[in-house]
């Protein structure tokens, strides 16, 4: 192996330390940041993710509210819960864990979260503000990916970045953030014809496909920075990324592991969005407080 690992856990610890310092400043000003996390149903992966988010809040001194609602919750019941949190001035961030059970319209739920409390960065207002380069809540996984790339000292400007996947949560926004940093961005997806060739040209490769070992060594340009967003439960019961790790490690210059890569960074960025939300809703500036 010659790739250098990008240690998501260590980077996340540094980002959470920033969030903890911001929380301390906010508390000194009389504000306790608070994140409400809503989980509907019993999806096992979602339960793990939500537990992680609640634990991170505790680590950073952020108050958390965990709302666990049954699988049978109706869309209206969920909308009512969101409305109550939206009008509660002690709650600064509202996160509804996705995916939602069938029968609940995800779009209607995301649209019901006020943009100023949308710490996931999924609401149309935040998406539009990101697209046009205005201040906004950045979606946590894409923001974490960028921070990981930058941590390697790689200059994004002018590089060819290839993103595999076009989801609203990862593919589209990470492509947008790379573009905003002057990368030449190619977005590949299930209908892309020459996907292997395109990937092999990438200076920066972001894999967000959801298929174990989708990216093999021959799809990686020697010296590339490879960010693996995939979290796939393998037949061995372990977590695997979208990238064949052993093969990628022989060719990439930098590579994120799974687990311990993008996942912890996503949660750390959520903590930063929550302190930012608490500051903004109280007319405070974190920059001025540090």
Question: Among all residues, which ones are annotated catalytic?
Answer: 53, 97, 120
Sheet holding 34-40, edge to edge: 63-69, 34-40, 93-96
Cβ of residue 120: shortest distance to ligand GUN, in angstroms?
Answer: 5
Element containing residue 65 per DSSP (H, E):
strand 63-69
Q: Does 97 bind ligand GUN (CB under 6 A)?
A: yes
CA torsion, points 220, 223, 229, 234, in degrees to nearest 10?
60
The correct pick among 126, 141, 176, 244 for binding ligand GUN (CB under 6 A) is 141
Letters for 256-285 (x = contact with ligand GUN by CB under 6 A, - = none) are: ----------x-------------------
Instruction: Select the span of 72-80, 91-99, 176-184, 246-254 touching ligand GUN (CB under 6 A).
Output: 91-99
Nearer to ligand GUN, 188 or 265 (CB): 265
Show contacts with ligand GUN in window 167-196 (CB under 6 A).
169
Shortest CB 146 distance to ligand GUN, Å: 15
Phi/psi for 10 (5° steps) reads -65, -45
Which range touches ligand GUN (CB under 6 A), out of 25-33, 69-77, 94-102, 184-192? 94-102
Contact call for residue 229 and ligand GUN (CB under 6 A): no
User: How far, in Å, CA of 77 to CA of 225, rounded?
Assistant: 44
Instruction: Write each residue from 110 to 139 as x if it is in contact with ligand GUN (CB under 6 A), else as -, in one continuous string.
Output: ----------x-------------------
34 binds ligand GUN (CB under 6 A): no
Residue 192 half-sphere exposure toward CB, CA atoms < 13 A: 17
**Interior angle at CA 13, CA 136 and CA 64, nearest 5:** 60
**Integer Cα distance of 131 and 172 in angstroms:** 10
Tokens of 51: 């537990």
Residue nearest ligand GUN, CB atom distance: 98
Query: Count of residues for the chain?
Result: 290
- The continuous run of DSSP H or E covering 219 comes out as none
Q: Which is nearer to ligand GUN, 1 or 83 (CB)?
A: 83
Q: Which of 3, 12, 54, 95 binds ligand GUN (CB under 6 A)?
A: 95
Helices (H), the chain: 8-28, 44-60, 75-86, 106-112, 124-131, 140-151, 171-180, 195-199, 245-251, 262-281, 286-289
Query: Could you tell me the smallest distance in angstroms from the CB atom of residue 98 to ligand GUN?
Result: 4
Residues in binding contact with ligand GUN, number by CB under 6 A = 9
What residues make contact with ligand GUN under the rule CB under 6 A? 95-98, 120, 140-141, 169, 266
């Amino acid at each position: 192996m010659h790739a250098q690992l990008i240690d998501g856990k260590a980077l996340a610890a540094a980002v959470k330390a920033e969030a903890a310092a911001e929380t301390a400043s906010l508390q000194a000003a009389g504000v306790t940041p608070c994140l409400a996390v809503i989980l509907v149903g019993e999806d096992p992966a979602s339960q793990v993710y939500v537990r992680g988010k609640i634990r991170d809040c505790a680590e950073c001194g952020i108050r958390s509210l965990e709302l666990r609602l049954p699988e049978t919750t109706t869309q209206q019941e969920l909308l009512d819960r969101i409305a109550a949190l939206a009008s509660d001035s002690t709650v600064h961030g509202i996160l509804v864990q996705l995916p939602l059970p069938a029968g609940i319209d995800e779009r209607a739920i995301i649209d019901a979260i006020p943009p100023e409390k949308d710490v996931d960065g999924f609401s149309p207002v935040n998406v539009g503000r990101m697209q046009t380069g205005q201040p906004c809540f950045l979606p946590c996984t894409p923001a974490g990916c960028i921070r990981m790339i930058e941590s390697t000292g790689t200059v994004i400007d002018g590089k060819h970045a290839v993103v595999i996947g076009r989801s609203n949560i990862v593919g589209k926004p990470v492509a947008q953030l790379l573009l905003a940093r002057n990368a030449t961005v190619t977005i590949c997806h299930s209908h892309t014809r020459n996907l292997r060739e395109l990937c092999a040209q990438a200076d920066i490769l972001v894999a967000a496909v959801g298929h174990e070992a989708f990216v093999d060594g021959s799809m990686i340009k020697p010296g590339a920075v490879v960010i693996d967003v995939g979290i796939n439960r393998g037949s061995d019961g372990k977590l695997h990324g979208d990238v064949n790790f052993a093969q990628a490690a022989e060719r990439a210059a930098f590579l994120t592991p799974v687990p311990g890569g993008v996942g912890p960074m996503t949660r750390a960025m959520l903590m930063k969005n929550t302190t930012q939300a608490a500051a903004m809703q109280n007319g405070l500036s974190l920059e001025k407080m540090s």
